[in-house]
Amino acid sequence: MKLIVGLGNPGREYRETRHNVGFMVVDEIAKRHGLTLAMAPSQVPDAFIAKRFGADPLLVAKPLTFMNRSGDAVAALTRYYGIEAGDLLVVVDEVALPFGRLRARARGSAGGHNGLKSCIERLGTMEFPRLRLGVGRGDARRDLADHVLSKFEADEQPALGEFIARAADAAEMFAAEGIAKVMNTYNPGATDPD
């Protein structure tokens, strides 16, 4: 079974912010497969999950622990469902990438992302795939926390749906064909039009 976890912050005030693109991707995957997100079993506190059964079972999840403690829920999910690190894909926002760009990696450091840092700490490894979604840096004079907790600009809104759909395509490709295929298809310099 593959596990796709989109990181974000719960609550209406965060719903459409840059920090929540991971949640948006999970919502898109759930919608495509007719899945309903519901509370995880009691052994996995603080997460919404949905599971697709069949020949290629898939689990999608949204931790409700807030970004900086995402690893609590991610580690609990991997333990409860017996998910190996290589079968986990963590989807996060990335300010170092321009809006709309995707970058997949099979492993790596947190790169300054507190959600990934929490996952690495709680999982005890950096050896898990991640998909970074470019949300841009915006005005360098603006506080970074304010930027990621802000909504997308008016000129970004028209492309947001296509961006999330493309990220969901990449996450589904991971589930079906693995992270190497995603990197070869979506990373800059591959077939990514950006």
Taking the C-alpha atoms of residue 158 and residue 155, their distance in angstroms, rounded to an integer, is 7
Q: Which amino acid is at 114?
A: N
From the candidates 19, 33, 113, 147, give the one annotated as an active-site residue.
Answer: 19
First to last CA, the chain: 31
Location of structure tokens 């099979």: 106
Sheet of 88-94: strand order equals 38-39, 47-52, 58-63, 2-6, 88-94, 130-134, 102-105
- Could you confirm whether 19 is annotated as catalytic? yes
State the Cα angle at 15 between 130 and 39, rounded to 5°.
Answer: 75
Count the neighbouring beta carbons within 10 Å of the beta carbon of residue 43: 10
Catalytic positions are 19
